[in-house]
Amino acid sequence: MLKVVKFGGSSLADSAQFTKVGNIIKSDARRKFVVPSAPGKRYKGDTKVTDLLYACYAKAEKNSDFSSEFSQIKARYNEIIKGLSLTVSLDDEFAEIEKNFKAHVGSDYAASRGEYLNGILMAAFLGFEFIDARTVIFFNEHGELDAEKTNEILGKKLAETENAVVPGFYGCGADGNIKTFSRGGSDITGSLVARAVHADVYENWTDVSGFLIADPRIVDDPAPIDTITYRELRELSYMGASVLHEDAIFPVRKEGIPVNIRNTNHPDDPGTWIVESTGKKSPFVITGIAGKKGFCSINVDKDMMNSEVGFGRKVLQAFEESNLSFEHMPSGIDTMTVFVDQKAFIPHEQHVISTIHKLANPDTIDIESDLALIAVVGRGMKSMTGTAGRIFSALAHARINIRMIDQGSSELNIIIGVANADFEKAISAIYNIFVITQI
């Protein structure tokens, strides 16, 4: 049994957090490969080292004095060294980074140093080998991850290693320079390492005990999700539930490796399991609820639309021409509605309308804004009758007007459109009926 463990920034924010992480790793000899993030926030209002690095480099690029930001960064690492009584020094590294900043080597290089330095400290702390991600993770000339090259080289390197630390978030670009993933990308590194060593589990340690059924800012003390499938997770993350970087699923999915989200501050909590498939029933019909505000609906009416071949394509072409992607497209006999992101749509609004008129010649076009979409997701819905009915009933009791309902053909989710103003109330009502009262 082999485990790959990734620790997020808040799990490594200072020496006290490092100590917790050390205890977690040492308590299980199967935790052989470790992927650290950069030190994150120690308290609310604190600044992550990655943000300090970006700010520092922005000054360096303008040839302004960046010594104050740079001192803050150095102080963060020196506190960890001192707090853990490590014998390593990062002074040579700091000097080189400073020199490279002055030479304007690039903001990806700058940001990556957060993980790089933390990786050196983590390796020293654990007595593990340090492997620079630059030598084992690769991007292609389009700036995308080169998954196969990475898997091959990373796999070979790790096969020769008993225990290792591979810093998260960056690798080597096609030009040989450092390149980072998008923010939160250490999750992807962890997943790549898990795939490369054929791990039995990828543990992703953070500051929450896994996924919750609903957003705790909306629902009081929501129940945790014990097990969720990759596809359910994709539906929920798309709708804004974020714990794991979206691209982190793909590498482990290729190998069917489960991901276990765990809490560094509560290591005994079982956390959430993300799996390819499971026969385990979730305790409720639904697995989770997530949603987003800020959508527009464009309702297009035309008599006899149903018999006009190609009408839908022409309407969608108008969106495509403005490079707008659409979210949902419920339709009636003589109407079709297209849901789009409001912020993206507004600048193109009049152009899209005139293009629809030109291409599809509808009778009327009507736009509604300030709508929210809510996804009710669950693998259990397929085999249950009445799920949609329960949602309707919960929303009716809460006096919420449903503006749209759309059930995915996979029967994995039901999407509901409501006014932005009803968003929180709707989520609470759905949560209550499925989780609290269960009627």
Q: How far is CA 403 from the centre of its chain?
A: 28
SS3 track for 109-164: HHHHHHHHHHHHHHHHHHCCEECCHHHCCEECCCCCECHHHHHHHHHHHHHCCCCE
Q: Is 206 in the site for ligand ASP (CB under 6 A)?
A: no
Q: Is 184 in the site for ligand ASP (CB under 6 A)?
A: yes
Tell me how far apart the alpha carbons of residues 168 and 342 are, in angstroms, rounded to a whole number: 34
Q: Which is nearer to ligand ASP, 165 or 394 (CB)?
A: 165
Q: Is 9 in the site for ligand ASP (CB under 6 A)?
A: yes
Q: Is 36 in the site for ligand ASP (CB under 6 A)?
A: no
- List the one residue out of 163, 171, 162 whose CA is nearest residue 132: 171
Q: State the minimum distance, in angstroms, from the CB of residue 140 to ligand ASP.
A: 21
Tell me how far apart the alpha carbons of residues 120 and 129 are, in angstroms, rounded to a whole number: 9
Q: Is 39 in the site for ligand ASP (CB under 6 A)?
A: no
Tokens linked to 438: 């269960």
Stretch that binds ligand ASP, among 75-83, 152-160, 184-192, 411-419 (CB under 6 A): 184-192
Q: Is 10 in the site for ligand ASP (CB under 6 A)?
A: no
Binding residues with ligand ASP: total (CB under 6 A): 12
Tokens linked to 259: 């991901």
The answer to whether 376 touches 431, Cβ cutoff 8 Å, is no
Q: Which is nearer to ligand ASP, 52 or 415 (CB)?
A: 52
Tokens linked to 217: 């800012």
Q: Is 171 in the site for ligand ASP (CB under 6 A)?
A: no
Q: Which is nearer to ligand ASP, 133 or 412 (CB)?
A: 133
Q: State the minimum distance, in angstroms, from the CB of residue 55 to ligand ASP.
A: 13
Q: State the minimum distance, in angstroms, from the CB of residue 112 to ligand ASP.
A: 9
Determine the number of helices (DSSP H) and then strands (DSSP E) in the chain: 14, 16
Buried b (16+ CB within 10 A) or exposed e, 105-130: bbbbbbbbbbbbbbbbbbbbbbebbb
Q: Is 38 in the site for ligand ASP (CB under 6 A)?
A: yes
| The only residue of 186, 206, 337, 342 in contact with ligand ASP, by rule CB under 6 A | 186
| The only residue of 11, 15, 17, 37 in contact with ligand ASP, by rule CB under 6 A | 37
Q: How far is CA 291 from the centre of its chain?
A: 15
Q: Which is nearer to ligand ASP, 208 or 360 (CB)?
A: 208
Q: Give Dmax (Cα) for the chain.
A: 79
| The only residue of 3, 48, 76, 403 in contact with ligand ASP, by rule CB under 6 A | 48
Stretch that binds ligand ASP, among 91-99, 177-185, 381-389, 401-409 (CB under 6 A): 177-185
| The only residue of 102, 183, 266, 397 in contact with ligand ASP, by rule CB under 6 A | 183
Q: Please, which residues have CB within 8 angstroms of residue 196's CB and are 6 or more apart in sequence?
A: 150, 151, 154, 155, 158
Q: State the minimum distance, in angstroms, from the CB of residue 48 to ligand ASP.
A: 5
Query: Vertex 255, ends 253 and 260: CA angle to 5°?
Result: 60
Q: Which is nearer to ligand ASP, 106 or 291 (CB)?
A: 106
The answer to whether 426 touches 373, Cβ cutoff 8 Å, is no
| The only residue of 106, 119, 173, 185 in contact with ligand ASP, by rule CB under 6 A | 185
Q: Is 76 in the site for ligand ASP (CB under 6 A)?
A: no
Tell me how far apart the alpha carbons of residues 287 and 413 are, in angstroms, rounded to a whole number: 10
The answer to whether 194 touches 34, Cβ cutoff 8 Å, is no
- List the one residue out of 432, 373, 437, 434 whose CA is nearest residue 398: 432
Q: Is 114 in the site for ligand ASP (CB under 6 A)?
A: yes
Q: State the minimum distance, in angstroms, from the CB of residue 186 to ligand ASP.
A: 3
Q: Is 205 in the site for ligand ASP (CB under 6 A)?
A: no
Q: Is 169 in the site for ligand ASP (CB under 6 A)?
A: yes
Q: Is 251 in the site for ligand ASP (CB under 6 A)?
A: no
CA of 416: how far to CAs of 121, 229, 232, in Å?
48, 21, 16
Q: Residues interacting with ligand ASP, by CB under 6 A? A: 9, 37-38, 48, 50, 114, 168-169, 183-186
